[in-house]
């Protein structure tokens, strides 16, 4: 057969050129890597074209992948304060805080972690949430500790929105949350001992004898059942229960420390959540569900596990915040929770609940007098009942 060269403008010829180019690019890239010609020293800095490539690549990638239409969860009261607590523990080391430069070590990273005061001008909320959730490759920016809790990053986004307006002192107050001492320092650890230092970490977000939790998304712990607290801490410690806030904190705690913490909170009297008064209709519907269940939906009454005489390792719900309860139920519905033994029970049931039933039951329990140490409720105690 006679060989006929393709005509100059034929698609075959164009395809041939393209294939050649691609092949050249691939060979070039492999050669660059194997020869080791490129200097990757951090003190060396990026040559301007590489810097441009990385910078534009990163920005475009984030803009493309972030979903700006994603609606953030409705702002819960104190959301930014919750984000502040995490920022102090997880972000401050590299990104610094208002008026204070970042740690000298982190300043020698390449790329250098940006100061975040202006982050919310530079990125949209959706982009910030995306960065927090997914992290950025080869930059030192980690992804969110729990890869199934994209809901949590919104607290940090809310905090970043407020960051530009904070003075150093305001920042310190905000990240300290309910802790009396601000962020812990080396002195504090030596003076207070490990347990109290841990408590400083807890009190940033959770309730203390003087204050309710910083956000309605944070559960109130004072007076909760000891067995439940212990189980929850263990699950966070092992990663069986997912939370980007709690997992880093609980990872550092050994069994004895967890036990002391559980003892501490089980015996602690703390004020109830500050939350908006719930919708009466929702409370009434929620009460129906909590007391009698929904036979057609195969949902047993909440009371059968969370009422009087329940097992010690089932949590108390009375007076817990509606935001927190509803969020937890949604996590069960989405299959995020449910790796623990008790979690598997609740997952089965939560998945049968409608969105409305989630809200109603949360509203009902939020409307109840808050639980207190050793059974009974704070209200009852205050009223002098046994």
Partner 1 sequence: MKRAGPLLLLLLVAACAGPQSALSGAGSGSGRALLLTIVMTVGFTAVFALVLGLTALAIFGPQGWRERFGREGWVYGLGIAFPVVVIGALLLWGFAILGADEALADAEDPVRIEVTGERWWWRVTYLTDDGRRVESANELRVPVGRTVELALKSADVIHSFWLPAYAGKTDMIPGRTNTLRFVADEAGRVRGQCAEYCGGAHAFMAFWVEAMPEAAFEDWLEHEAGPPPETSFPDGETVFLSSGCGGCHAVRGTPGASGEIGPNLSHVGSRTSLGAGIMPNDREAFVRWVADHQEIKPENNMPPYDILNDEELAALGAYLEGLQ
Site string for partner 1, 325-354 (x = CB under 8 A): ----------------xx-xxxxxx-----
Can you tell me which of 161, 188, 313, 334 binds partner 1, judged by CB under 8 A?
313
Per CB under 8 A, which region of 33-41, 57-65, 184-192, 307-315 contacts partner 1?
307-315
Determine if 314 is a binding residue for partner 1 (CB under 8 A).
yes
Question: Minimum CB separation from partner 1 for residue 344, in Å?
Answer: 5
> Residues 99 to 118: which contact partner 1 by CB under 8 A?
none
Q: For partner 1, give the closer residue by CB, 165 or 348.
A: 348
Question: Minimum CB separation from partner 1 for residue 240, in Å?
Answer: 13
Q: For partner 1, give the closer residue by CB, 261 or 346.
A: 346
Question: Minimum CB separation from partner 1 for residue 227, in Å?
Answer: 11
**Cα 51 to Cα 11, 48, 119, 383, distances in angstroms:** 37, 5, 20, 67
Number of residues that bind partner 1 (CB under 8 A): 23
Site string for partner 1, 258-297 (x = CB under 8 A): -----------------------------------x-xx-
Question: Minimum CB separation from partner 1 for residue 302, in Å?
Answer: 8
Question: Minimum CB separation from partner 1 for residue 266, in Å?
Answer: 18
Question: Minimum CB separation from partner 1 for residue 288, in Å?
Answer: 14
Site string for partner 1, 215-234 (x = CB under 8 A): --------------------
d(CA 25, CA 31): 10
- Interaction site with partner 1 (CB under 8 A): 293, 295-296, 298-301, 303-305, 309-311, 313-314, 341-342, 344-349
């Amino acid at each position: 057969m006679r060989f006929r060269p393709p005509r100059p403008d034929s698609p075959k010829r164009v395809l041939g050129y393209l294939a050649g180019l691609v092949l050249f690019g691939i060979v070039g890239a492999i050669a660059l890597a194997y020869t080791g010609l490129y200097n990757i020293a951090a003190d060396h800095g990026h040559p301007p074209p590489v810097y441009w490539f990385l910078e534009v690549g990163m920005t475009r990638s984030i803009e493309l992948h972030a979903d700006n239409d994603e609606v953030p969860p409705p702002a819960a009261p104190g959301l930014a304060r919750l984000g502040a607590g995490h920022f102090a523990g997880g972000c401050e080391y590299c990104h610094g805080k208002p008026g204070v430069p970042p740690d000298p070590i982190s300043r020698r990273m390449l790329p250098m972690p940006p100061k975040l005061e202006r982050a919310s001008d530079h990125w949209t909320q959706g982009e910030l949430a995306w960065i927090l959730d997914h992290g950025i490759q080869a930059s030192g920016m980690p992804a969110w500790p729990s890869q199934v809790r994209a809901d949590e990053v919104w607290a940090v986004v809310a905090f970043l929105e407020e960051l530009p307006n904070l003075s150093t002192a305001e920042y310190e107050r905000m990240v300290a949350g309910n802790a009396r001492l601000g962020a812990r320092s080396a002195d504090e650890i030596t003076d207070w001992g490990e347990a109290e230092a841990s408590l400083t970490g807890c009190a940033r977000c959770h309730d203390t004898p003087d204050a309710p939790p910083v956000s309605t998304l944070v559960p109130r712990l004072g007076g909760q059942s000891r067995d439940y607290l212990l189980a929850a801490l263990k699950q966070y410690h092992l990663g069986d229960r997912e939370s980007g806030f709690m997992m880093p904190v609980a990872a550092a705690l050994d069994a004895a420390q967890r036990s002391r913490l559980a003892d501490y909170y089980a015996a602690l009297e703390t004020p109830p959540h500050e939350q908006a008064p719930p919708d009466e209709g929702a409370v009434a519907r929620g009460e129906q569900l909590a007391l009698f269940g929904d036979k057609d939906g195969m949902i047993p009454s909440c009371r059968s596990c969370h009422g009087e005489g329940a097992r010690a390792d089932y949590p108390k719900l009375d007076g817990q915040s509606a935001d927190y309860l509803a969020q937890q139920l949604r996590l069960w519905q989405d299959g995020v929770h449910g790796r623990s033994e008790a979690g598997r029970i609740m997952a089965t049931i939560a998945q049968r609940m409608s969105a409305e039933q989630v809200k109603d039951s949360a509203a009902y329990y939020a409307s109840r007098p808050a639980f207190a140490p050793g059974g009974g409720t704070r209200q009852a105690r205050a009223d002098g009942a046994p």
